[in-house]
Every structure is written in C-alpha cells, then in structure tokens.
Structure 1
Amino acid sequence: MEALTAGQVACLAGYLTALFLWACAEALNLRVKHRKKTEADTFEDGGKGKLLPAAKGAVIELTASSHGALLPTDVRPPSTAWTASAFYRCLMLDSDALLACREALRAAVEFGTILAWFYVADRTNFIAAGTKSYSRDVFVFLFAALTVVAGGYTLKQHRTLLLHRTQTEEWKGWMQVLFLLYHYFNAKEIYNAIRVFIAAYVWMTGFGNFSYYYRTGDFGIGRFCQMMWRLNFLVLFCCLALNNSYMLYYICPMHTLFTVMVYAALAIGSRYNKSDLAIWLKIGACFLTVFVFWDIKPIFYALWSPFMSMMGYSDPRRPAHDKLYEWYFRSSLDRYIWIYGMVCAMLHPKIERFLKAVDSMGTKLRCATRAVLVAVFVGIGLTWYQYVYLLPKAEYNRVHPYTSWIPITVFFMLRNLTPPLRTFSMGLYGWLGCITLETYIGQFHTWLLSKRPDGQPIYLLTLLPGYPLLNCAVVSALYVIVSHRLFHTTNLLKDALVPHDNNWLLLRNCLMMGMVAAMASCFGTLALQAWQLWGVSLQ
C-alpha cells in the first residue's frame, strides 16, 4: 500500500467532517420527531377541537430548494450572504440548517463511503485481485442472456419520436454492457466495435447538447455548471482519493471538451441561431477548428502543453516519454463525430418528417419504400464492415475518425424505420444507460482493479476465489448497486450546491467551494508534514 498523499488526507478530513455533521443532523431529526410525537399525544389527551400553543423554541422547518439555497417555509427569499450559506451554518452547528441539509449530508457521507470502498478494494491487500481470461462462449452468453431478460421482461412503449431520450438511453445501455464485458474479459477481438461504441457516445454528446441549446436557447451559466458537475465531480474525487491522473478516465475530459465546444458554438452569436445559414456556418467553423487543432499535430501540442499537469498521462507499467500522447490519441479518434452529432440534430426534424411520410403511405408503397431503405442501409453497413471494420487495430484506428459516422447512421436509421421500432425500448438497458458515467468510472475500482496509482485495471475484483462465474455475478451486482448510488448522490449534491437560475448564489457557492478546497489542501499538506516530523508512517 502506497503512502498517503495530501489530497487523500484532505478527502479523509472532509469525509469525517461530513460524517460528524450528518450524525448531528440525524440526532436533531430524531429529537424533532420525538417532540412532535409528544405534542401529538398531548393534543389527543387535551380533547378534540382544542388548539395547543406551539412549544417554546420549536424548530422552524427548512427545505433545500432546487436552486441550491436553504429556504424556510415562509416567503423569505434566499440570501447570498456568506453567513447565510448552508455550509457555513452547518459548520456552526445551526440546528435549522442541519435539519434542512440532512439529505445532502447523508448523500455526502454515502459518496465518501463509496470512495473509501474504492480505496480499500483497489489500494490495499484486503481484497484479492484475480486475472482476466477470455471465453467467447461466456462473453456471448452473458450478453445474450441479459438481452433476453431486457427484451422479455422490461420492454416498454414510449413516444414514436425519432431518437427520443428513452431510446438513446437504451442505446447507451447495451453499448455500455458490451464495453464493460470487453474490459472484464479482455475481449480484444471486438476492439473495433468498442471504438464505434465510444464514437456513438461522443456523437450523442453533440446530438443531445445541440438539440437542447438549439431548441431552448438556454445558455445560462447555471445549467452549464450543472453539466460540468455531472461530468467531473465523481472523477475529481476519484483522482484525489486514489491518487490518479485525470486522463486515466479519458472519457471524462473528452466529453467535457466536446460539451464545451458545442456550448461555445451555439452560445457565441446565439441571436443568429434561428438562421439555418448561420448554424451551418457555425458547424463548418467547428470542422475547421478541429482540423487546425488536431490534424496539425504541433498546434495541438502547443495548445495543450501548458496543461500537462492535468492532461498528461503515463501508465506506470509502460512509462511513456510523451505524456500528452494519450490525450492526443484518445481525443483524435473521435474529434469529428461530435460535429456529425450536431449535423444530425440539425437535420432531425427533416428526417422525422420523412419517416412519418413513409408511415402514411399506402401499404404497398410503404413496404416497397422500407424495403429499399433497408437494402440501402444494410448494403452500406456490410460494405463498411468488409472494408473498414475488419482492418487490423492500427489500420482501423487511422480511418476510424473519418468512418465512424457510417455504422452510427446505419444503426439509428434502421432502429427508427417503423413506428413499433421507434416506440418500444428495453427498460433494463435504458436504466443502465442512465448511469453510464458512473459505471465507466466505477469499473476501475470495484469491478476491475489496478492496485496502483494511474495503473490500468488489469485485474478482477475477486470476492469468491476459485469460483469465477459466481464471483462475476456477485461482483457485478455490487458494482451496479454502487454505480446507481453514485448516480443518485452526485445528482443530489448537484441540486444542493449548483443552482440552475440564480447566478449570484452560484457564484457564492463556487467561491465557498474553492475556499474549502484550498483550506482542505493546506490541511492535507500540513498534516503530512507534521506526521513526517513525528516519524509517523502513513502506509
């Protein structure tokens, strides 16, 4: 077990503080419940129709608003004063604030407990680490069995809109299952398929964000910060608690960057977004930007070299001299597909009208049209499979940035060709699709293991040595539960700390979080130095 870092000490201090405050909040809540029960009993003893005066010092109930402020049940507006913040009042052990923040404190403690489990599983010798072994039979069986269950027992009917949210969540879900099984079994033979799946995730980043901003015109900083929180809160604390680099979880910086670029494309000159010409010019500018900053490699390195401490990565088992190469390689593979997602979002109404026009045709013409469409898209897909997908890994990676749009287009067109196909989706995969970020990050530390900082997860979490299939079932159940709880706690803390439409409150909360981070960092550094002076070994 490696020595603790200042970041890990700071995380531990924060966790213990949250644990203490939550315990205080729960104790207060029990006291309030007991008081209410006593008052109710007194009221019943006093007879019907008698109103008893409120007890002295009765607790005023507070609620946590959806805008990150603590609001009493009266009409008092939220204050942006530092001393009115929930965090400050909780530290001062204000009973009203502790009661109001009880759920948020519980979420913080649960979040910290999961991080502690990650550390125990991946950084200590308490949990055994198994080796990976690939069996195509087991791999296919597991995915097929899960798909049969999802299709047979969780099939749901929804709207017939093209690429509606439920359908894209299902799409993410089954891709994520294959992505995770690929890592668990080290199934190298489907590497090219995994590259397509990751491209599809990035495509959805462009498609979903463009659709939202283009439709709503909501470029508020609050919503943007909530997106950044969603993408980076969990990974930030994993980096601190486990002493890992940001780039170990490369999906997070990649999605963050492309989300920012979609936002910038539409937010800059947003008053022109109603013009189709302006939108196409913006999309063209995105293509040009990507070409300049990625296809001209020296410019990419000149841009990102100042951020080497954040974007650099080297696998300790295979040290690399060029620490920026990992970021260049990963982001280059999918550098264009997010823009194609914007293109599809722009064309979405036209494609939807076309499909509805096909639906309204006479029976013979409709069947003939669909047959032609199936033949065309299947033909395109088979051609791509024969001449692109079957290429060796290195050759495929060279053409992937320019061809990944083909299988994505073929899939979503065939998936939406008829109303029943658009209407039905598998609920199980849709549910898994909602927690893809948590399952992606969590796999490094509670399904797979690396056993060292910045190491790739080359081991398996082993709770039942000698029983690989039973162990896979138990560990998978634990892993999914942990991922779901991380999704829940991350969103609950986001709602408590990142307001959507109160910029002053958002600024105050950001400044306070920055101050807390600085204080925690100083505490961690000083604590380490003090322990070193006293000769205490933190291993």
Structure 2
Amino acid sequence: MPDTSSKLANYALLFIAFLTFTTQNIHATYGKNDPHRCLTLLNNGTWSPLAPDGSRRWEPKDCRMVEHTADFLHGCLNDRKVVFIGDSTIRQLFWAATKQVAHRKSETRIKRLLQSNGKHHDISFRADNVQLEFIWDPWLNSTVLHDVLKSFHALSTSLDVEAIVGMDELSPMLVILGAPGLWAARYGGDDYLNLFKRAVTGVVPYLSPSLDNNISLAMETTRGPDDIPNRIFLTPVGIPDYSNLAPNRSKSITPERIETMNNYLSQVFPNNLSYIPWVYNRIPTLSKRDFDIDGLHASDSMAALKLNIAFNALCNPAASARSRSFKGTCCAVTPPNYAALIVFVLFGTSAGFVAGARRHLETAGSSGVVQFTEILKNVLATLLWCWYADGTYYLIRAERHYEQNAFVAACLIWLVVSVLSSRKAPQQTDGLSSSKRDARYYRGPGYLSRNQSNEIKGLMQGIILLYHYHYASQALWVYKIIRLFISGYLYISGYAHTLYLLETNDFSLNRVMEILCRLNFLSVFLSYVMRTTYTSYYFAPVVTFWYLVLYAMLRFFKSYNRDLRWLLLKIAITIRLTNIFILSPGILETVTGFIHDVFYISIDVEEMRFRLRLDRYITFIGIIVAALTHRASIRRERNFLQFGWVGAIFTLRFTLWLAIVCVGSTITFFYVTQTYLQEKQAYNQIHPFISWIPILSFIVLRNSHRMLRDRCLYLPNLLGRISLETYILQYHIWLGGDATAKLFIGYWEGR
C-alpha cells in the first residue's frame, strides 16, 4: 500500500518531468533550435574509452548514433538514389557506401569497379534496390552537378508531390557535396580563395534557407521509408595529416589555407549548421590509425564513420518513428503512443475523482474506494514518468562505459553506508496474521527472518543497480557475482513462499492472485505502455514461473507435505518435469504463444528459456531448506538454526567448525570460478549446479551468532522491501533505451 512519502515522490517526479519538458522547449525555441538533436550529431562528439578489445566508438554529444546494417539501409534507401559529388575524398565516402549497402554477393562487383574505373571518372553502383552514384567534380562546377541540384527537393516525394511536378527525375534522397578546398589549395595558387568562393557560391542557391523548417515538419510526420525527408550536405574542407603530406602537396595545402576556406564556409551559413557536417573536422585523429599513408585521404574506417553520420541524419527519423526499440536518438522523433495517452487520461480522471469526492466517500464509509483510487493514481503516475523518461527524447540518453575503479568505488560506498545504518532488528511476525497461522506447526520466524531477507535483497539490489548503471556486465568477474545475486533472490523467494505455505496451509486463490499481481503488475503494464516485451523485465516472469511451480507442487497432494520423505519425492518429480518443460523445444513456445494470443503480451522464448535454465535448481534448494526448517520447528518446538545460544541445537564448537566450512567453501568457490572459468558460456553451464554453495554459506554465517541475528542493516532493509519494483523501474527511470543507456538532462555540460 503506497504511503504518503511514495505519493509525494511520484508527484515530485511528475513535476520534474513537466519542468524539464517546459525548459527543454523554451531552450529549443529561444536558444539553439535542435529539438531532434540533429545539429549535435553534425557538430560535436567524442571518442568513447577504449573497450577491452582495443576498439572505440564515436559518440555524438547528447545523443546516440547507431551503426546501420545493410538490411536496415536497404529499407531506408528503398528504390531511392544517393549521389556523391566531389574529389577523391568524396569518392572514399562512395566506396564506403557500396560496402555498407552491399551484401557479400556484391563484394566481387565492388572489386571489379575499383579495378575498371579510372581515377577521374563517374561511377554508378546498384545493390538490389539501392542506387549509388559518384560524380567526379572536384571544382563543383559541372553541368551534371547542377542537374542533380535542380532535381533536389528537401521533402520526399510522398510529402510534397506538387513541388516536384515537371521534374525529369525524382529528387535524390541524399546528396553529399565535397567542398573544393583541397583542389583550390593545391592548384589555385594565390587565387585559391576566389576559386573556392566561386564554387561555393554556385551551389548556395540550391540550398534552401527553409530546409531546417521543412525537415523539422517532415520529421514530425515521418512514419515510413517513403516519408523520409531528403538531405543534402556540403562537407567542410578536410583537414589532412600535414606531417605525412608529400613535399609538393605540403607547400600549397597548408593549415592557413584550409582554415581560411572553412572560415568562409562558416560565414556563408552563419545561422544554419544543418548543411555542413562540421563534425568531420572535429573528430580527433591519429596519423597511423585514421589516415592513409599519403596523409590526404582518411582511412577506410574513418570514411565509414563519416558516412554513418550522414546515414544517421537521413534514416533515424523514420526508424525512431516506427519503433520505440530503435536505439538511435540523433535526428530522432518520439513515436506515437496511445497507451501512454490513455494512462494520462486515467491519471487525470483518478486525481480529479479523489480531489472532488474524497470527503463525501469517507463520510459515507467508502474509504476503500478512495484508497483504491489513490493506489491507482500512484501506479499511473509511475507509468507516466517511465514513459516520459524513456519513451520520449526529452531526456538525454548517454552511452555507458565500464570503468572498474568507479564501479568498485560505488559498490564500496554502498556497502559502507549500509553497514553504518545497522540497528537493532525490530520484532516482527513475518507478515502472517494469527488467523492464517497453523498453531500446530508455527514456532516463530526462525532462520532467515523477514528482516534478514529484505536486508539481503536490498544489499544485492543496490549493487545490481550500480552494475547496470556502470555497464559492469563487460567484466566477467562481476557478471559471475551478479549471477549469484539473482540466484540468491530466487533462493529467498522459494524459501519464503514454501515456509509460508507449510506453516499456514493457505492455498487459497486470493493468495495466489495477490502474489501474481504483486510480481507482475508493473512488468505487464510497462510492456503495454512502453511497447516492450514481457521478458524485457525478465526477473518478474522468472520469479512468477518458479512461484507457480512450487505452489503447484505443494498444492497437489498437500497432505503429503507433512511427511518429509514424500515431500522430497514430490520435489524430485517436479525438478524432472520442470527440466522437461524448460529444455524441451516446443513446450515453452506453445505456452508463450497462448499467453500472447490471450493477453497480447510479447515474450522472447529463447530469452525466457535461457533465464530459466540458468537457475533451474536454486529455487528447489530454497524449498528443501524451508521444509527442513519447518520440520525442525515442529519437532523441537524452537527456532531452527539459532546458533550461538547456550543450549541451542548446535554446540559452540560445532558452530565454529560450521563457520569455518562456510568460509572455506565460499573462498574455494570464488577461487575456482574466477580463476578457471574464463568464458561466460562455460560459467553459465556450471552455474545451476554450484550457485547454492556461496548462498547457503552466507546465510548460515549471517545467522551464526545472536549479535548478528539481533541487528539488521536499515537502508538495505528499506530497499529490499521494493527490490522487485526498483529492478523493473530501473529500465526506464535509472537507465534509458531499455537499460542500454544512462539518462540525464544535460544542462550542466555547457549546452
């Protein structure tokens, strides 16, 4: 039941969302007009830190660029033409384009073209439905160039048919012009600047001053490949690697001349940055990696990057409008979401209902209606905030990078703060009312009390949140630990549910529906509102599956639950049946298909099978321990595993030896897994069989002394109460892009 603090938190989040939305729009209207973050793609960025394999990625400032596959580009450039016009540096972009759109069967044709065409010739290449053309025109003064520019129109055919009636051919979808700076500097002598100005002046009339407005309008209406607005770019004068230029080139191609010509370009287009991708000259380069040996031409990888920037500007609007799962946020538009609109209307209705009818309903004794409406309002507020944060592009999604020192430091801070929050554990009843307890069997909360389980779940959840935020999945040693945390949660869940059912014998339908609703309401509603798959929040379906398994196992022939031997037999049979269900092809597909047909919820079958297979035994370990605990509580009429007390079940000497065994087992486990299992696949195969070792060892140690049992860590305890909710909501609040990026506003970075 949400309390006042949770209500205030939700309303505060909505207020922040509204404030951010307002300031973003004011900033876009009266400041730099870049609502779709196209200008940032074309003007600014940085290299990512080196990955473990030595690779790096170019990351535009405040948005995410994607690397388009050949199939994606064929869908974007469907039956349209891309034209490259300029010198040999532009020809490099043309060759990069042929490699990106060509499938393997076309590689031979590309090599043949390279061998058959001269240096100063036009080239044409077609791959399936994509037409690529290169026009050799280093001075930008040919008749062919002007014919292409005359046929160019800012909007695509389907958006403005009347504007191109009478043209001999349809407008090219993308035109990339190369500013003739290198040729002017090399062959223009002292008159290089006038020659350069003359060439630029010849193409300026074809660059409509209202292009930005047209594209902004088109982006808002983009729904398919035929609606993609056409783009035209004039590349800046490239900055060569001066140290490797040949002597005859270095005398004329000087930094002063290159800078002068680029300064002129910036003066020609002082208020319009969308024609010139200045970022081409702002990409930090290294001589050996990013240039050919002549120092004039970029390397193949650098040419591919420059082309990919242009393709992101061209293709991202339609891709982002069609699918919310599209990861690119540069030149992106928010896709329509009618489910979010419905949630917004319901939120307003429920808020108005509570505000207008609260006093009347409470007076009439209908406080339950008010309470339900309050709960509904808070749930809807949470869904709205998720949609705003991750379903729109108002917040910035930044790439994540794994930095081990930062991640380890954050985890240590969380652990230290958690330990400092230690306090005496409050007395509790483990959530069981006296009416639900079976007096014949209950003898106290005992081993792994509610305080302890919440504390452990909270400790793990805090590190899991940091794990995702810092992209620590890139480190195998961290991944192994997090896998144990997931297994630990399933162990606690299996133990708690089993102990409850054995103690209360409460197999009522109301109880089942309550648990299923608690586990799934967020993940199900978010899958509708955010248009994601149910398995995107895989922890909820996994916990739900194992709850249904243990419930069915204990429900059928429940009278045999009192006999440990029969219960162990039921567990063995259930293990065999669940293995068949998980591992046999066709069964899981049938069940998930039925769920999709009935509830219209998408489930990734392979993802679900992978997650269930990883932890297919740990829940049964929790069930067995719960059964042993329950049996001991009945027979000895005392709390089970209360180590360290005088007259307790185990003597102090045995407790000490047991603690040594637990510590030794844990150390051995981590030594073996971290030293010898150096591949994720190898660890995943053995994980289901060994995950119980450190989990049981830790819990036994946690209960090994009265001083440890009588205290709990307050902050982890609080987080553990909502660990499932925080795990699910992190996908859209703590992170963005379905947990593939970090969210931030960006006003503190000098925008």
Same fold flag (TM > 0.5): yes
The one-letter amino acid of 1:337's match is: I
The 5 A counterparts of 1:420-431 are 420-431=707-718
Matched, 1:61 2:364: yes
**Distance of aligned partners of 1:359 and 1:297 in 2 relative to their CA distance in 1, 3 Å threshold:** farther
Q: Is the 8 A contact 2:354 2:374 kept in 1?
A: no
Find 1:197's aligned residue among 473, 485, 489.
Answer: 485
Tell me what 2:460 maps to: 175
Tell me what 2:221 maps to: none
TM-superposition CA deviations, 1:321-361 (whole Å, max 9, x none) = xx521111111001111111100101125498674475326
Matched, 1:394 2:676: no
TM-superposition CA deviations, 1:158-190 (whole Å, max 9, x none) = 468321010010000010011111100011320
Q: Is the 8 A contact 1:7 1:243 kept in 2?
A: no
**Distance of aligned partners of 1:347 and 1:170 in 2 relative to their CA distance in 1, 3 Å threshold:** same
Tell me what 2:614 maps to: 333
Find 1:16's aligned residue among 308, 326, 345.
Answer: 345
**Distance of aligned partners of 1:121 and 1:347 in 2 relative to their CA distance in 1, 3 Å threshold:** same
Tell me what 1:155 maps to: 423
Measure how far apart 1:420 and its partner are. Answer: 1.1
The 5 A counterparts of 1:271-290 are 271-290=559-578
Matched, 1:359 2:640: no
Measure how far apart 1:255 and its partner are. Answer: 0.7
Q: Is the 8 A contact 1:132 1:458 kept in 2?
A: yes
- Distance of 2:668 and 2:710 partners within structure 1: 29
Q: Is the 8 A contact 1:250 1:327 kept in 2?
A: yes
Measure how far apart 1:467 and its partner are. Answer: 6.8
Matched, 1:139 2:426: no
TM-superposition CA deviations, 1:52-87 (whole Å, max 9, x none) = xxxxxx99522345xxxxxxxxxxxxxxxxxxxxxx
The one-letter amino acid of 2:486's match is: I
Tell me what 1:446 maps to: 733
Comparing 415-424 and 108-117, the one that deviates more: 108-117
Q: Is the 8 A contact 2:401 2:471 kept in 1?
A: yes
The one-letter amino acid of 2:741's match is: Y
TM-superposition CA deviations, 1:476-511 (whole Å, max 9, x none) = xxxxxxxxxxxxxxxxxxxxxxxxxxxxxxxxxxxx
Measure how far apart 1:413 and its partner are. Answer: 1.0
Tell me what 2:546 maps to: 258
- Distance of 1:218 and 1:462 partners within structure 2: 46
Matched, 1:457 2:750: no
Measure how far apart 1:270 and its partner are. Answer: 1.7
Query: Per the alignment, in what secondary structure is the counterpart of residue 359 of structure 1?
Result: coil
Measure how far apart 1:24 and its partner are. Answer: 3.7
Tell me what 2:387 maps to: 119
The one-letter amino acid of 2:364's match is: E
The one-letter amino acid of 1:328's match is: R
TM-score normalized with structure 1 length: 0.66
The one-letter amino acid of 1:2's match is: A
Find 1:379's aligned residue among 656, 661, 664.
Answer: 664
Q: Is the 8 A contact 2:422 2:711 kept in 1?
A: no
Q: Which entry has the higher C-alpha Rg, 1 or 2?
A: 2
**Distance of aligned partners of 1:133 and 1:279 in 2 relative to their CA distance in 1, 3 Å threshold:** same
- Distance of 2:363 and 2:748 partners within structure 1: 57
Q: Is the 8 A contact 1:449 1:460 kept in 2?
A: yes
Q: Is the 8 A contact 2:458 2:718 kept in 1?
A: yes
Measure how far apart 1:117 and its partner are. Answer: 1.8
Tell me what 2:106 maps to: none
Measure how far apart 1:243 and its partner are. Answer: 0.5
Q: Is the 8 A contact 2:643 2:706 kept in 1?
A: no
Comparing 112-121 and 427-436, the one that deviates more: 112-121
- Distance of 1:4 and 1:186 partners within structure 2: 24
Tell me what 1:236 maps to: 524
Query: Per the alignment, in what secondary structure is the counterpart of residue 739 of structure 2?
Result: coil
Tell me what 1:294 maps to: 582
Q: Is the 8 A contact 2:447 2:639 kept in 1?
A: no
**Distance of aligned partners of 1:121 and 1:459 in 2 relative to their CA distance in 1, 3 Å threshold:** same
The one-letter amino acid of 2:518's match is: R
TM-score normalized with structure 2 length: 0.48
- Distance of 1:103 and 1:357 partners within structure 2: 44
Gaps of 5+ in 1: 33-57, 66-100, 314-322, 451-455, 469-539
The one-letter amino acid of 1:443's match is: Q
Tell me what 1:343 maps to: 624
**Distance of aligned partners of 1:286 and 1:273 in 2 relative to their CA distance in 1, 3 Å threshold:** same
Measure how far apart 1:261 and its partner are. Answer: 0.8
Tell me what 1:478 maps to: none
Q: Is the 8 A contact 1:129 1:461 kept in 2?
A: yes
- Distance of 1:290 and 1:332 partners within structure 2: 10
Q: Is the 8 A contact 1:377 1:414 kept in 2?
A: yes
- Distance of 1:106 and 1:354 partners within structure 2: 41
Q: Is the 8 A contact 2:736 2:743 kept in 1?
A: yes
The 5 A counterparts of 1:89-128 are 101-128=369-396
Higher RCO (C-alpha under 8 Å, 6+ residues apart):
1
Measure how far apart 1:112 and its partner are. Answer: 1.7
- Distance of 2:358 and 2:625 partners within structure 1: 51
**Distance of aligned partners of 1:403 and 1:297 in 2 relative to their CA distance in 1, 3 Å threshold:** farther
TM-superposition CA deviations, 1:451-490 (whole Å, max 9, x none) = xxxxx4211011346579xxxxxxxxxxxxxxxxxxxxxx
**Distance of aligned partners of 1:165 and 1:228 in 2 relative to their CA distance in 1, 3 Å threshold:** same
- Distance of 2:354 and 2:587 partners within structure 1: 53
Measure how far apart 1:143 and its partner are. Answer: 2.4
The 5 A counterparts of 1:475-486 are none
Tell me what 1:83 maps to: none
Tell me what 1:51 maps to: none
**Distance of aligned partners of 1:123 and 1:207 in 2 relative to their CA distance in 1, 3 Å threshold:** same
**Distance of aligned partners of 1:162 and 1:389 in 2 relative to their CA distance in 1, 3 Å threshold:** farther
TM-superposition CA deviations, 1:385-414 (whole Å, max 9, x none) = 222344121110000111111111111111
TM-superposition CA deviations, 1:242-265 (whole Å, max 9, x none) = 101101111111111111111111
**Distance of aligned partners of 1:153 and 1:303 in 2 relative to their CA distance in 1, 3 Å threshold:** closer
Query: Per the alignment, in what secondary structure is the counterpart of residue 151 of structure 1?
Result: helix
Find 2:704's aligned residue among 413, 417, 422.
Answer: 417
Query: Per the alignment, in what secondary structure is the counterpart of residue 288 of structure 1?
Result: helix
Q: Is the 8 A contact 1:449 1:457 kept in 2?
A: yes
RMSD between superposed Cα atoms in Å: 3.0
Query: Per the alignment, in what secondary structure is the counterpart of residue 521 of structure 2?
Result: helix
Measure how far apart 1:305 and its partner are. Answer: 5.6
Tell me what 1:405 maps to: 692
- Number of residues paired by the alignment? 391
Q: Is the 8 A contact 1:121 1:127 kept in 2?
A: yes
Measure how far apart 1:294 and its partner are. Answer: 3.0
Q: Is the 8 A contact 1:169 1:431 kept in 2?
A: yes
Q: Is the 8 A contact 1:150 1:428 kept in 2?
A: yes
The one-letter amino acid of 1:435's match is: I
Matched, 1:26 2:26: no
**Distance of aligned partners of 1:447 and 1:20 in 2 relative to their CA distance in 1, 3 Å threshold:** same
- Distance of 2:640 and 2:373 partners within structure 1: 50
**Distance of aligned partners of 1:306 and 1:62 in 2 relative to their CA distance in 1, 3 Å threshold:** closer
